[in-house]
Amino acid sequence: MKPQPMRLGDLSVGFVQSLADAVASHGLNPQPLLDQYGLDSARLGQAGARLSIPRYMRLGHAAIQLTDDAALGLRMGRLSRLEQLGLAGVTAAQAPTVREAARCLIRFEALYGTNYRGQSSFHEDARGAWLRFYSISPYNAYNRFVVDSIITSWLQQLSRVAGQTLLAERIDIEFTEPPYRQAYAVLGNCPLYFAAEHNQLRLGQASLALRNPVHCPSTWRHLLQLCERELEQLTRTRSLRERIIALLGPLLSGGREPDLEEVAARLKLPTWTLRRKLAEEGTQFRAILNDTRRDLAMTYIRDTELAFGEIAYLLGFASAEAFQRAFKRWNSQTPGEFRRAQRIGGGAASG
């Protein structure tokens, strides 16, 4: 049986609430737009409901067009609430300090959102810490708002934990300065750098050390235990193949192809042990790499508007021509033929 194309990732439908609030803040009713994407009250109230990342990006783009607000992501972040992140968000709201709340949001990110491209991270040093959101380049009208909303929501949500407005020491954003540059004033008077190496927010030690005025130690510990249990359940059920696929996503980029040795090192396994374990599962590293590239290629072509050259870059091919040849070998049709067939058959509506 031919495998189904893999998902680029998904996130809690709780993210839709801040988008709806941002649309409503423009004096517009967001429900007709949500209905177009199958997000009625029953869907939004479903426990554990998730939304595919391509669908979320299309929804965000449609909301930006509806409101004529290219900076809608910044407004979404300002209107976000910790409760919209589910158990991880409720737990972070009970953290003793801003530092522990930030750690919580990053550590348990998988409970409210997953993306094959990577995961957010928390980098501490003697003077403070960076909250870093992984790269989702190349950037376009469908995904810039995601970075805007994440960076802004971190500042908003951690300010709530502190019981006061936090000011970032610095904010870096990977994409080039957009036409709505002035809208970033909502982030406060801090240095803001575009075309940066990372998407990240810097907080100093004084901000990180601020205590949560509503912290309850017993509730915090109980919620932490629940988060750890949920995270363990997520990771325990993954096979070695699934763990390798999760690692490959962030490593595939810019004409660079990860090898067995690199993946083994990240899994903290000797190369020969990884090769043996894969053989026991009836597969090889090269087969997993090819399957991952093929499934991601099909998903990108079906669910996004990315050009084929951009997709080739994201999948680690040296050129668009190399990607086109590989895709035709996998599917007996060119990427263009596959995309046209999906559009005619309604494949773009999935997710």
For the stretch 133-164, pLDDT in tens is 999 888 988 999 999 999 999 999 999 999 99
Look up residue 23 and give its amino acid. Answer: V
The answer to whether position 1 is within a domain reads no
Buried b (16+ CB within 10 A) or exposed e, 81-111: bbebbbbbbbbbbbbebbbbbbbbbbbbbeb
Alpha helices in 129-216, H assignment, sequence order: 144-162, 205-208
What are the CA-CA distances from residue 138 to residues 117, 165, 195 (Å)?
A: 12, 32, 12
pTM for the full predicted model:
0.84
Kindly report the CATH number assigned to the domain that includes residue 319.
1.10.10.60
Do 144 and 33 lie in a common domain? yes
Residues 96, 17, single domain; the answer is: yes
Determine the Cα–Cα distance for residues 206 and 92; give it in Å rounded to an integer.
18
**Of the residues 233, 254, 289, the one at which a domain ends:** 233
Question: Tens place of pLDDT for every residue, the chain, 351 residues?
Answer: 344 445 688 999 999 999 999 999 999 999 999 999 999 999 999 988 999 998 999 999 999 999 999 999 999 999 999 999 999 999 999 999 999 999 999 999 999 999 888 899 999 999 999 999 999 888 988 999 999 999 999 999 999 999 999 999 999 999 999 999 999 999 998 999 999 999 999 999 999 999 999 999 999 999 999 999 999 988 776 788 888 988 888 888 766 788 999 999 989 999 999 999 999 888 999 999 999 899 889 888 887 888 899 899 889 888 889 999 999 999 999 999 998 888 765 543 444
Total structural domains within the chain? 2
Structural domain boundaries, residue 143: 9-233
Does residue 111 sit in the same domain as residue 258?
A: no
Shared domain check, 306 and 205? no
85 with 220, same domain?
yes
Q: Are residues 132 and 265 in the same domain?
A: no
Q: For the domain that residue 194 is a member of, what is the CATH number?
A: 3.90.1520
The DSSP H or E segment spanning 11 is strand 9-12
- Of 215, 233, 251, which marks where a domain is finished? 233
DSSP string, 257-302: ---HHHHHHHTT--HHHHHHHHHHTT--HHHHHHHHHHHHHHHHHH
Last residue of a domain, one of 189, 212, 233: 233
Same domain (yes/no): 300, 156: no
Same domain, 207 and 320: no
**142 in a domain, yes or no?**
yes
Angle at 245 between CA 147 and CA 327, to 5 degrees: 90
For residues 158 and 246, state if they share a domain.
no
